[in-house]
């Protein structure tokens, strides 16, 4: 009987604490009706991204609205995600190139299987951006590759 009343007492205390927290404006598990903040998610991913080991190939093609770039590279293990061509500088370099770092998020919290594994990132260039540059230069951990418009 004493065990039952102790459990009821703890339950009452927890219920009162939960009610007080809700009255104070706290939520349990976050407010799921609010959409996630994409800028916050992007900053988190940017902090995790690392350079792709090497660039294997680039495909630069003309589209109706400008150019499309696909870059293929190698990473050392399985599990890399969220590949991206991150601008080094929004301005065109002194030699007329748009420069990007080829980065991705390495595996987190697990022992990854060894690779190498192929990874790909894409980027579109509007015609006006391409008109200001003569090409693109993509950087990886082991060097750079270039493509001309």
pLDDT of residue 130: 81
pTM above 0.85, yes or no: no
d(CA 119, CA 135): 22
Average pLDDT of the segment spanning 68-72: 97
Average pLDDT of the segment spanning 85-90: 91
- Please spell the DSSP secondary structure of 54-120, one letter per residue: EEEEEEEEEETTEEEEEEEEEEEETT-EEEEEEES-SSPPTTSEEEEEEEEEPP-SS-PPEEEEEEE
């Amino acid at each position: 009987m004493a065990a039952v009343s102790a459990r009821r007492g703890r339950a009452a205390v927890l219920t009162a604490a939960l009610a007080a927290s809700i009255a104070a404006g706290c939520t349990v598990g976050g407010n799921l009706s609010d959409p996630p903040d994409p800028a916050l998610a992007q900053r988190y991913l940017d902090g995790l991204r690392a350079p792709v080991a090497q660039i294997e190939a680039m495909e630069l093609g003309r589209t109706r609205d400008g150019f499309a770039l696909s870059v293929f590279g190698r990473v050392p293990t399985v599990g890399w995600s969220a590949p991206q061509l991150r601008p080094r500088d929004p301005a065109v370099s002194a030699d007329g190139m748009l420069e990007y770092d080829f980065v991705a998020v390495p595996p987190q919290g697990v022992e990854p299987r060894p690779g190498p594994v192929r990874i790909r990132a894409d980027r579109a260039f509007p015609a006006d951006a391409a008109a200001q540059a003569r090409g693109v230069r993509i950087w990886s951990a082991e060097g750079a590759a270039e493509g001309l418009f």
